[in-house]
Chain A
Amino acid sequence: MSLVELSHVVKRFGTNTVLDDVSMTVAPGEIIAVIGRSGSGKSTMLRCINGLEPIQDGRILFDGAVVNDPQTDLRALRQRVGIVFQSYNLFPHLSVEKNITLAPRVVKNMSESEARELAREVLRKVGLEEKIGAYPDQLSGGQQQRVAIARSLAMRPQLMLFDEITSALDPELTGEVLKVLEAMAGDGMTMLLVTHEIGFAKRVASRVVFMHQGRIWEEGTAAETLSAPRTQELETFLSAVLH
């Protein structure tokens, strides 16, 4: 059974149709790279999946629950879906530890000592255990992004959504973040990631989805889709990204 299922999803901002009849499925353990030009609706798709944006038509299922049903408990759902943004969005007034433990403490009523142990564990996964007491503005961009990943992991999500999480980083810092993603892939995490790192997508993703003008224009295994595009649009896109 699939973990996520989008069927005929339509999303509009006013009269601007941003997702146009989008259908796809994500099986547990799959790693899907979403690529496409700016404005093609990649971020919007991710935000719809965890209910940050309402949709106008179609249906989104997560683990059997209808995300776009007003009856659905979005808070419960979001605890099982992690999302990491391009701009990190760490809480600047909280230390790294508190950034991570806030949701487990408040949402899951975890004890302080248990939460601290959890913070150490997820920080170890992203290689930042020694930064547990630091504040976000004392960290580099790459470190902040890894903390953001750790913060999501602390909720023990079944699905992780990544929205261009390396776009604001230098190549060097990008590398350290991608390494964390590869490790998570090795752990069997289901991931949907919007990225411009084609090489990384080829190496890690099981499937690639190319979005164009709010539609899924082309999709397939990473190896095939990226080395032998079937549409002119994907070919143009790839040559632009790869210079």
Chain B
Amino acid sequence: MIREFGFIDFMYLLAAARWTVALSGVAFLGGGLVGLLVALMRVTPLAPVRWLATIYVQAVQGTPLLAWLFLFYFGLPLVGLVVNPWIAAATAFAIYAGAFLGDIWRGALAAIPRTQWEAGASLGLSFLDQLRYIIMPQAVRIAIPPTVGFLVQLIKNTSLAAAIGFVELTREAQITNASTFRPMTVFVIVAAIYFAMCFPLTQWSRYLEQRLHVAR
């Protein structure tokens, strides 16, 4: 039955946005952990470890996120886990975000001159202490603007979770559209909600980027 698009529909959409935020948050946390591991693997002196991390990043960056979502959606049941969009989406996004964040953070680590590592080594600091006290604090400052930038990508990409039936903002929009049949209204509102979430982050990332350049 088709009904009118009303204020209540708008409120439903707004409410669904919290699942977009929740999924983004989970993806960012999971991806952050994976990404940290990947970035560290890529600066270790052990070549095979570096290759492993590189292959992972290349593989994820060379496949569509949708494919990962479906792989986990259909793959997890094969190892005995119930079909659950939450678990499938969270895993897929952690894998995906981990590769991109790992790459961003590796770049930040690589941006610190080799002489800083050497200065630390010359003082008798271990590899991990050099990383912790000398390299990381400097790399974090460089990494923050692109990390915030990636967060925007991540929020937008959570829309793809709709494809495996995860009810977030975009999926809710499809549902609302099916019952009200006001596609223009529904999708413009949804786009506006995404914009409201992403634009401030985009601006913040830009501001941080500029401040970093001024500071140099």
Chain A residues close to B by CB (< 8 Å):
50, 52, 75-76, 78-79, 81-83, 85, 87, 89-93, 102-103, 106-107, 151-152, 155
Query: Given A91-B134, A106-B129, A78–B124 Cβ distance below 8 Å?
Result: yes
> Are A79 and B134 in contact, with the CB atoms below 8 A?
no
Query: B123 contacts which chain A residues (CB < 8 A)?
Result: 78-79, 102-103, 107, 151-152, 155
Q: A83 touches which one: B116, B122, B126, B141 (CB < 8 A)?
A: B122
Q: A52 touches which one: B118, B124, B125, B137 (CB < 8 A)?
A: B118
Query: B124 contacts which chain A residues (CB < 8 A)?
Result: 75-76, 78-79, 103, 107, 155
Query: A152 contacts which chain B residues (CB < 8 A)?
Result: 122-123
Query: B129 contacts which chain A residues (CB < 8 A)?
Result: 106-107
Q: Does B133 count as interface, using CB distance less than 8 angstroms?
A: yes
Query: A87 contacts which chain B residues (CB < 8 A)?
Result: 115
Query: A75 contacts which chain B residues (CB < 8 A)?
Result: 124-126
Nearest-neighbor residue (CB-CB) of A91 within chain B: B134
> Are B119 and A85 in contact, with the CB atoms below 8 A?
yes
Bound-state CA distance A78–B129 (Å) is 14
Nearest-neighbor residue (CB-CB) of B134 within chain A: A91
Bound-state CA distance A93–B133 (Å) is 10
CB distance from A65 to the nearest CB of B (A): 14
Bound-state CA distance A93–B125 (Å) is 17
Interface band, chain B? 10 to 19
Chain B contact residues, majority secondary structure: helix
> Are B133 and A89 in contact, with the CB atoms below 8 A?
no
Bound-state CA distance A14–B118 (Å) is 21
Query: Given A89-B118, A91-B119, A107–B125 Cβ distance below 8 Å?
Result: yes
Can you name 18 A-B residue pairings with CB atoms under 8 Å?
Answer: A52-B121, A52-B122, A82-B122, A89-B115, A90-B119, A91-B119, A92-B138, A93-B138, A93-B141, A102-B125, A102-B134, A103-B125, A106-B133, A107-B124, A107-B125, A107-B129, A151-B123, A155-B124
Query: Given A102-B133, A106-B133, A89–B126 Cβ distance below 8 Å?
Result: no
> Are B121 and A89 in contact, with the CB atoms below 8 A?
no
Closest 6 CB pairs of A and B: A79-B124, A103-B123, A89-B119, A78-B124, A83-B122, A107-B124
Query: B116 contacts which chain A residues (CB < 8 A)?
Result: 89, 91
| Max chain A C-beta neighbours (<10 A), residue from B124, B126, B133, B134 | B124
Other CB < 8 Å A-B pairs besides A78-B123, A79-B124, A152-B122, 18 of them?
A: A50-B122, A52-B118, A52-B122, A75-B126, A79-B123, A81-B122, A83-B122, A89-B116, A89-B118, A91-B116, A92-B138, A93-B137, A102-B134, A106-B125, A107-B123, A107-B129, A152-B123, A155-B124
Bound-state CA distance A142–B159 (Å) is 56
Query: A89 contacts which chain B residues (CB < 8 A)?
Result: 115-116, 118-119
Bound-state CA distance A87–B115 (Å) is 9
Query: A78 contacts which chain B residues (CB < 8 A)?
Result: 121-124
Nearest-neighbor residue (CB-CB) of A76 within chain B: B124
CB distance from A5 to the nearest CB of B (A): 20
Bound-state CA distance A240–B96 (Å) is 60
